[in-house]
A and B are shown apart, each in its own frame.
Chain A
């Protein structure tokens, strides 16, 4: 999101060194600490619930996605339509559920794209070090200053509002911090004894990277992944709000908010329902991300 936050975060993450504990593993410890963080736990439960609903939507949605009922437009909340209907008489709850599927899917897929690029790039830079690292990180510094959202807008407008393009483009804007984090991790890990041990028994570069260095930097990667998902969901909603993201008949929370704005004077619920869904999701993901960071890095834990 912003460089200051990511900077402090990198500081936190950089100190997250590898597990050197006895008995319970790093992950068990982290899970134990996470359970004590009520906000993070609430966020995790909310997200689990939401993902379950999203997965089951085709089965449990009360109506079909595009079913219009022009005699029931803008119907208020009722037993039939829990959240009422929209300006085309479509059930709002159903649209919200399907919209959530798209929003979450874009968030997850784009974040995975960003992890893929970031880990590959960061690990390469950190592993080789020296001049290669210097140049690769210079490029990252420069790219940080570019507002990618404009590129994404241009891309979406000119190459069609294609779903695959959407999440790949969004993912491609979010890998910079990931690359920095992974690089830092790999740099400190590669000096550790276990890497030396692996090397001494003749393990090759590639295998050291994929078997030892990357798996051991997963903690911070997961933390940052949790924080990338909301950033991407927000960007997608931003684009969809401008009419440049997901295209009809598909809908995401962004497009629902956008059509809610048009109808808000008659029925504010059409705007407020998707807005609440989006905000709660962003909030939960941020709480969970912060909680995970503290759980995986007890030394850097804040007040």
Chain B
């Protein structure tokens, strides 16, 4: 558990890193459209060790969601290399990337994305469906995940009967259920009031302390300051804010 994460590091020569970083981006670029192309990201280089927590800050349209989508293997970069846990994601097939998401990456969305017809517990259980895990004990594991975010007492509630903060906690439990190597959060507090925001952020603090690698996209400085590392993206260019 390396507590103080290094700053935006110059890539070490190959073979020197004892443990491969969870995430390693090398000169990632992403352009959309054809004529004239929109450059969403240019030359982004970033490495995250296990247990790191990173906030990506920037105005809307700056490319921070594009970066998050690339980190989550939902989108492919136009140029550069992305290594996840030492694996070059660029050479993987669509299906292999889906498998990577199932086993290695958890997502938390601004709109929670819970299925309205299913209880909190069932929503969390959905996490295992695409992982090929036998259903035995799935409910128990989901319940544990809910306990971990302090929602064990609401397991059988439908999302419509939960507050925004509670819904987001359920969504976080869903993302945590498979012990992902990386948790990606896209404006996780964007739809929450200040009280709920605080409860979700303190949950993130706890998860970060427990060693989870966490990336949060936000445009709220208050949220960004809870992370150990902060990067700013403006017009597709990333700069790291020096902490301490």
Bound together: no
The residues of B with any CB-CB pair to A shorter than 8 Å are none
